[in-house]
Amino acid sequence: MTCTSPKLPANAECRCVLADGRVLTITASRRPRANRADVKCAVSGAPALSERMQEVVRLARHTEHRFDSRDQVVLSMDLAPSAGERGWELAAVLADRMVRGAWQPACPLVYADGWSDNWHCGSVSGQAEASVHLQALISASPVPALAVLGAASAPGAEAAQSIPGSLTLSHLGALTGHTDPSASVSSARAWFPLHSGGINDSLNWVEVSVHPVEQGGADEEDTIAVPGLGLTAQLAIRQALAGARHFDGRGLGRWRTVVRFGQPRFQGASHELALVMADRLARGREFVPRGRIIASGCSSAWHAGRVDTVEGREAKMELILKQAVQGDRVLLPRDWQNDIPPAYASALRARGASLACIERIGMI
Predicted confidence at residue 1, as pLDDT, reads 41
Bridge partner residues of 171 (DSSP):
123
Angstrom distance (rounded) from CA 27 to CA 321: 52
pLDDT, the chain, mean: 87
Residue 158 has pLDDT above 50, yes or no: no
Give the separation between CA 323 and CA 58, rounded to whole angstroms.
35
Q: What is residue 222's predicted lDDT score, i.e. its pLDDT? A: 83
Query: Residue 217: pLDDT above 60?
Result: no
Interaxial angle between packed helices 313-323 and 342-350, expressed in degrees from 0 to 180 and rounded to the nearest 10? 20
- Decide if 291 contacts 271 (C-beta within 8 A): no
For 5, 22, 303, the CA distances from 2, given in Å and listed in that order, are: 9, 28, 43
Distance CA 64, CA 56 (A): 14
Residues 34-75: tens digit of each pLDDT: 888 889 998 888 899 999 999 999 999 988 888 777 889 999
* Helix, strand, coil percent content, the chain, rounded in steps of 5: 35, 25, 40
What pLDDT is recorded for position 204?
93
Q: How confident is the model at residue 163 (pLDDT cuts 50, 70, 90)?
A: low
Is residue 11 a contact partner of residue 29, using CB atoms and an 8 Å limit?
yes
Map residue 261 onto helix, strand or coil. Answer: strand
The region of weakest confidence among 96-100, 131-135, 212-216 is 131-135
φ, ψ (nearest 5 deg) of residue 295: -140, 150
pLDDT confidence of 146, banded at 50, 70, 90? confident
pLDDT digits (tens, 9 = 90+) for 73-92: 999 999 989 888 999 999 99
